A and B are shown apart, each in its own frame.
Chain A
């Protein structure tokens, strides 16, 4: 099983690289596009989430080690230390996801209040603070 996978990995290495990095960067750019062009506040918040998701995906992606297993020393894997994937990015991404969630939640609550206050959710109409 493991060997098979490694073989596939080696064979389609470029495509997999492209797939992981491309998806991640693509997600980031899509998120940024939404943030920068969409007028609706909720869409902007969604854009933020997508942007974050892209970064999180990159985190997970760079932690991968060719042929590595999950970094858990479960029974049968006691001495697999040298073939495990990098655990650090996974731990970090856990933190990052939770933080991203918290930010999104706060953002949505702000959107609710903005909508109540201005009766609109268009960002270019909410400009009472300027200059």
Chain B
């Protein structure tokens, strides 16, 4: 039983790996954008809470930096997958581009909350909403 548990713990950590063909790669691309989108939406909620003075700084700071870590590791995981074909290269660039925009915004939110810059934080809300919508659109466009 211990062995099974260990095996499970190990395999689950490596859920992104190689891609079996273009379709599979596309699925992983969409999954990556969905992960990033989840982080973006989380940060949006955090900003909303800050805006309405509903939460403490340390709490929001932690929520945002965890979202940043999640999104970052999803993108890094995706980037280590070998794109199977030339058309996949294009997809890879698209994902990187759209994810990088979101990551920048999340990082900006993290910096703002740590500085206590609530105005700057509020200014990010619309941009994040837009980024989230873009990620959602990407998912719909590339749904296998």
Do chains A and B stick together as partners? no
